[in-house]
Every structure is written in structure tokens, then in C-alpha cells.
Chains A and B, each alone.
Chain A
Amino acid sequence: MATRLPGTDVVIVGLGAAGGVAALPLADAGLDVVGLEAGGRLTRRDFAPDELRNNMRGWPFSVQKCAQEVPTLRRSRSDTAVQGNGHPMMNAVGGTTLHYWAQSWRLNPWDFRVVSATTERYGSSRIPEGSTVEDWPFGYEELEPYYDRVEHEIGVSGQAGNVNGRPDPRGNPFEGARAREYPMPALRWTGFLYRMASSARSLGWQPFPGPAAINSRPYQGRSGCMYHGFCNRGGCHVDAKNSPAVTTIPRAEATGRLTVVTHAHVRRVETDNQGKVTGVTYVQGREEFFQPARFVLLASYTYENVRLLLMSKARAYPIGLSNNHAQVGRHYLSHHQGAGVTALFPSDLHAWYGLPAQGVAVDDWADDNFDHGALDFIGGGNLWVYSDRRPIAAAGMNTFGLAPTWGSAWKAFVRDNADRTNSAYIQKTTLPYDSNYMDLDPIVTDPLGDPVIRITAEYKQNELAVADFLQDKMERWYLEAGAIKVTRGGLGGQMGVSTHAYGGTRMGDNAETNVVNRYGLSHEVPNLGILGASVMGTSGARNPTLTAQALAWRTAAHLASNWRSIVE
């Protein structure tokens, strides 16, 4: 029997990027919040600059929850799903923001209205067949104040391109208008990044520094970035990476309203016979607890949000909580981040000390920033060239067919070339399709016996065409900057377990096709809300987290200001 704990106003399941942000506006409004977090607390002393541990051995997730519930994968309904190799998300207070890259993008205005913008410019026939894409229930302008709030609350460095409609040529000419500048200037550039920016300009493109939830100078009493080169899958040793673990969570705890419970693995959301949620059941060690709550917010990342809903069947929700319209798990997409391009340069790039959020971006080929009239796809990609290099991976470099992969000739090759390659990160428009979805795997379970998520999904023609088009652009850019060899990754096929997993609990006004409403609250369950990219219906051409955090803040603020009418 589960031990029944004293009740609370709100329980948040998962204190990562989204849940860790939502806790603050709730606590500030005077609501009592319990944050249930499957992982423990890590501090900056846990974050050694150790490539073997962080990047080769998969610390810190190898012994943790995510690794034991890796989704199974298959391309289509007729295939057998096979469990993926790993799951790079983090289980700890702060979630994956502890070791993420911290690129902190706003979506561009087009991403909110893919259907209507495409239809207006090219006609409705240009929406790819089988896609279930919808416009968001609101436009970029609605989210702007929340982007602004989160950028200042956690600290984001960057260069504005459009402040209140006033263009700034140093920033992104395609971004939506922002109310004010970033709270900190962009991270510094290396000589190589300056060179790439000037090559982009010679091509007539408009390069700019990308935004990062990383301090470019001391902010809120925390250090500026030390550029030591171990940021990618490593936590920050000086707390310059602005995870909720060092920003919103401690601030919410300081109000006295947030109680953080670590090592609490939630397995089920409980429901009464009227269809209201009553709280959640979790295990901690070998003990089971029931945490009653007047409102439940799921913030356990896309796969776990969907899994918890599908596992929490009840009389009122026979095929899963909030799933009476059979939309939980639908409109899924793994962001297309593959199909990279790698270049070899004739001289050293000096990339040993840097971080993947330090770089130069080009948005000229993203979204609908260029004419698609004569093209066979919609959307595009963001080109991102960044600084990131560590010795084991550098020695394991692609030899571009210029040397064998071992022996003396190889040794001579890596001696000269270990610091001469660069790989671009190209994030691309990825659409939801009717045949891409998540459900519970019928066979594979985690150690507690709960089924894992099964992903049935593949990239379609539109994604492959975007990938090919963007590789051409990237190759041109590298050659313009003097690269002597360029190679391209495959265009992609089956969708994998993703760090950018969208959909499954999509947000929209229509309850027939969406799980949550425009505020992130369930269409069916009166006292349940969902946070994270699982509510997003489009990906844009950039990382999801800042958008998920702005949405989380908005949901929490809506809940706090309408508390009585929502829970009573």
C-alpha cells in the first residue's frame, strides 16, 4: 500500500527544463508546490572536464532512469520495433539542462502558422500529403512576453536582430520582434568563427551569433562562461550554464512554497470517478507514496509524459488519461538534426576551447525565409557552425580518404589534422504525419515492469528534400571559407530516440486533434496540465527548450491567475 502524504496545491512531475521553470511563477503566486524528481541533485563539483566519462561512457545517465526505459523503434506499423541504444536525457534536479548545449532559440513567426502561411503564399496543395500539421492556436506575438521573461529570468546571451521592429544588422534579420535586447551580449567568437561569418557575407548571407542560456559575463551573481571545452554533455563547473537547477528552482525554493523531492519516480496519475485527477503515485527506493494534489503538471519529457498518460488508465479514461479522443502519442516527430556536413581545412581552427552554443548561425535557408515557388518542399534549416573539440573524438576523426585509420600514416595525419575539421549542425523543419506516432510497447518493459514507449516513425519526402537542400548550402559555405574536403551524412530514414522529441500531447483549440488547449491544460481532464515540447505541433529549424520554457511559464502563470476557477 502506498503511504498517503499530506496534500498540496500543485504537483510537478519532473524538475527539468520545463518543470523547473514552471515552479517559480506558481510559488511566487503563493501556491504550494511539490516537485517530484526521479533523479538527485548534482552540483558544479560533479562536473569534471572529463571526456571519457561524459562523452564516451555516457555518464551521467548510464545508471539512471532514462537508460532503463529507452523507447523501441520501428519505421512503420508493419515492422517489429527494436529498443534504441540509449537515451541521452538526464535524470536530476534541472533535468537535461544540466548537460545540454544551451542554445536558446525563439521560434520564428512562420513556425506558428505553417499551414496558413504556406497556403497564402503557395496554395494548400503544398502541405505534404499525410501531414497532420496545424497552425498553433496563437502567433509568435502571444508568446513574446514569455520568451522575454524566461530569457531574463534564467539569463540568455545573444545578439538581437529586431527590437520592436527596429532591425539590427548584427542579429538575425528573420527573427520576430522582441521587446528588448538580450540580457547579455553574445558569447565570444574565435578566429575561425569570424572567418566563417565573413565567408557567409561574401555569399550574400546574413550570419549572426546564436543565443545561449550561458552567461557571457557574470549574471545574477553567477560566473561568466569559462570556455573550457567540456560543455557538450558535461555540466558547468562554474554555474555559467543557466539550468533551472541554478536559477528558477532555488528561487522557487527560497519562497518556501516549493518542496523538492528527489529520487521520486512517478508511475501513475490517479483519477477519481468524476474524471478529476487526485494526485500521483511514486516509488522512492522500495517504498511507494501517494502525493495528493489539486492540480497535476506533467513535465517529465515527451516520452515519459506520453507514457504516464497511457499507463494512467481509469474508469473515465479507459485508453489512457486525457485520451478519450485517441490523440495521446499522435503528431509525433523527432527533430531532423542529422544529415550533417563535415569539412577539413588546411590549417588549425583552434577549436579546443569553446562550446557548442558558441557559434555563427545563418537563417537565410530556414522556414519560409526564401522563395519555395520552384522547390518541392516547404520549410528549411538553420546552419550552425560552432566550436567544440575534445581529444579522444579529435583523434577519432574522419580521415576523408586521405589516410588509413591506423598505423604510422594515420598517426601523421591526425597529428596534423586533429584541429582542422568542423562539423555543422543543421536543424530542419520536421512535420508531423498521420503515420508517425508513439504508443506503449506490447513487450518491452522497464525494470519496474512498466511498458516502454514505442516510436513508429520515419522522415518523409519533405524532410529528406530539406536535408539535401541544406547540405548543398552548407557545402558551399565551407568551400567559400577555404575547406579542402567536405563530406555529408546520410539524409535519414527511421526516426530515432531524440533529444528534440515533439508532439504526443499537442496543443490546439480543437479537442478532436489535440490533447491540451491553448494554455497547456488538458481538454478532457479539468485539473491536469502538460509541459514540454510534447505540446508543440511544429519544430521550426532550431532547438526547442526556450520555447518549451516560455510555454511552461505561460501555463503556470495562467494556472496561478485563474486558480480558483480552474480547481474549484
Chain B
Amino acid sequence: MADTKPQLISRRSLLRSAGAVGAAAAVGAKGSPAATASSHESQLTPTGEQTSDNKQPRYIFEQLTADEAELLEAIADQLIPEDDLGPGAVAAGAVTYIDRALGGALSESRDAYHSGLAAFDRYCRSSRDAPFLELSHIDQVSVLIDVETGAATGASTGFTGSSSSFFSMLRSHVLQGTFGDPFYGGNQNFVGWDLIRYPGVRTSVWPRLQTQLEAGELSPNHRSAYDSEYFEKAVVRTATKGTYHGD
């Protein structure tokens, strides 16, 4: 697994630059009013600029194979791309988040990932004659639209159920991995929270803080809930507490 890594990175960065161009074009084409609004630029922290892949400690995937992880990263990179607004799902570590969660809280989704990614790959090869990673930006987008809308459903691909339910599972986990607490391995360097201008986890929000927030003067604090020793970690200890008869 480890020796496929360097290749993965170079392909991905190639992909990313292609993605950025395509993305910019897409924004222009859509002409969304939101895309041109610029009143909040100053609050965006460009943490993404510094997150180049070779500086990050290498994460060893435990649940996903190298091929699966590579495919998932490419998909995540389309869902929340790195672009002129800053880093996206890949820099956030969304796939790291998913891999870790598949070994724990999301273990029930493990099979859905293995079979869904395999079906996704078969769909690319049968409908576009190439694996996802080798497709152009536009073709990747069109494949994802097919999967999202359920058009990729069919005997030849083997999605269990509609391809759209696989897509919505992926999307919700990519959101979790980009915007969830960094404690779980995603939202690295708080790139997700900075993107949506979330001012951060605070355990006490006095009136003064709310006033600062409303005045646009509250800067993000970049803290995980578990930076404080106060909170018990995710596992709740109910089973060991309380009165028992017959003790």
C-alpha cells in the first residue's frame, strides 16, 4: 500500500490543477450571485496555501485499499475542490476521516464503500472507457452527475440500490470529514470551518462575544472540542457507572 502513495499524490495534484481551472469556469458559467459576493474575503484564512502534500505526515489507510482511497480522494476533490476560495475536502483530510470512521462509528458502511467504489469504477470504464482518474475534469463531473441523479444505476455497474444513495452517503461523509471536529481526523487545519466562517467551538459565549460576532470582529479560535481535558472522549462510560444490586 505504502509504495503506491507517491504516485497517488502526483496524480492528485495534477488533477487538482485541472480541477481549479474547470471550477473557475463553472463558477463563471453559473453566474451565481453568491460566487461573486466578496464582503467576507478578509475573514478567509488561507491556511490551504501552506498545506502541500509532502509536508503532511503520511496517513496509512486501514479500511480502504490504496486504489479505493485514490478514487475516493479524486471524488472528494470534485465535491469540494481546492480553488481560489481555498483548500477543499482533500486538504481537509476528508478521506482520512472516512477511513478512520469506517473502522469505528461508520463500520456498518464499510461494505457500502467497497461495493459502491467498485461499481463506480465499473461505471466509469463502461460508460466513459477509462477509469475516473484518467477522465478529464468535464467527464469526471458528468460521471458524478450520473451517479448523483441515479442515472448510473443498472445491472452492468452493480450499485446495490440506486447510485444516488451511494452518492448521498459519500457526500454526507465528505461533509463530515471537511466540517466536523478535527478530533476525528478531518477538517485539518480547520480549513472547513474557515471556509464557512464558523468562529469556532467555545464553551462559554458571553454577551460581549456575541456582540463581537455580530460586529464582524470575532476571529476564529481554531479549537477542537477535545482540546480541553474537561470533556470525556467520544465513548460514554454509562456501562460502568451507577448502582448495581448483587455487587
CA distance A414 to B234 in the complex (A): 28
Instruction: Check A176 for interface membership: any CB of B closer than 8 A.
Output: no
CA distance A312 to B8 in the complex (A): 62
User: A408 touching B226 by the CB < 8 A rule?
Assistant: no
Take A57-B105, A405-B171 as given contacts and tell me if A416 and B176 are in contact as well, using a CB distance cutoff of 8 Å.
no
User: B195 touching A415 by the CB < 8 A rule?
Assistant: yes
Take A353-B205, A406-B79, A411-B88 as given contacts and tell me if A3 and B245 are in contact as well, using a CB distance cutoff of 8 Å.
yes
Near A by CB (< 8 A), chain B positions 164-203 give 171-172, 175-176, 178-181, 183-184, 192-193, 195-199, 201-203
Take A396-B175, A418-B196 as given contacts and tell me if A353 and B226 are in contact as well, using a CB distance cutoff of 8 Å.
no
User: A60 touching B204 by the CB < 8 A rule?
Assistant: no
Instruction: Check B210 for interface membership: any CB of A closer than 8 A.
Output: yes
CA distance A93 to B192 in the complex (A): 36
Q: How many residues of B contact A (CB 8 A)?
A: 67
User: A51 touching B180 by the CB < 8 A rule?
Assistant: yes
A27-59 contact mask (Cβ, 8 Å, vs B): 1 or 0: 000000000000111100111111111001101
Take A227-B210, A412-B32 as given contacts and tell me if A53 and B245 are in contact as well, using a CB distance cutoff of 8 Å.
no
Contacts of A46 in B (CB 8 A): 231-232, 236-237
Looking at the complex, which one of A53, A228, A259 makes contact with B203 (CB distance below 8 Å)? A228
Looking at the complex, which one of A227, A263, A348, A409 makes contact with B26 (CB distance below 8 Å)? A409
Closest to B145 in A: A404
Looking at the complex, which one of B32, B80, B183, B207 makes contact with A406 (CB distance below 8 Å)? B80
User: A40 touching B210 by the CB < 8 A rule?
Assistant: no
Instruction: Check B33 for interface membership: any CB of A closer than 8 A.
Output: yes
B80-124 contact mask (Cβ, 8 Å, vs A): 1 or 0: 110101001000000000000000010000000000000000000
Looking at B40, B180, B192, which has the most chain A CB atoms within 10 Å of its CB?
B180
Closest to A419 in B: B197
User: B197 touching A418 by the CB < 8 A rule?
Assistant: yes
Instruction: Check B157 for interface membership: any CB of A closer than 8 A.
Output: no
Looking at the complex, which one of B27, B34, B203 makes contact with A417 (CB distance below 8 Å)? B34
Shortest distance from the beta carbon of A201 to any chain B beta carbon, whole Å: 21
Contacts of A442 in B (CB 8 A): none
User: B27 touching A409 by the CB < 8 A rule?
Assistant: yes
A-B contact pairs, 24 of them (CB 8 A): A48-B226, A48-B232, A48-B234, A50-B226, A53-B234, A60-B238, A227-B210, A237-B230, A237-B231, A259-B243, A262-B244, A284-B244, A284-B245, A353-B205, A395-B178, A395-B195, A406-B144, A407-B141, A411-B85, A413-B35, A414-B196, A415-B195, A415-B196, A419-B197
Take A406-B80, A411-B85 as given contacts and tell me if A49 and B236 are in contact as well, using a CB distance cutoff of 8 Å.
no
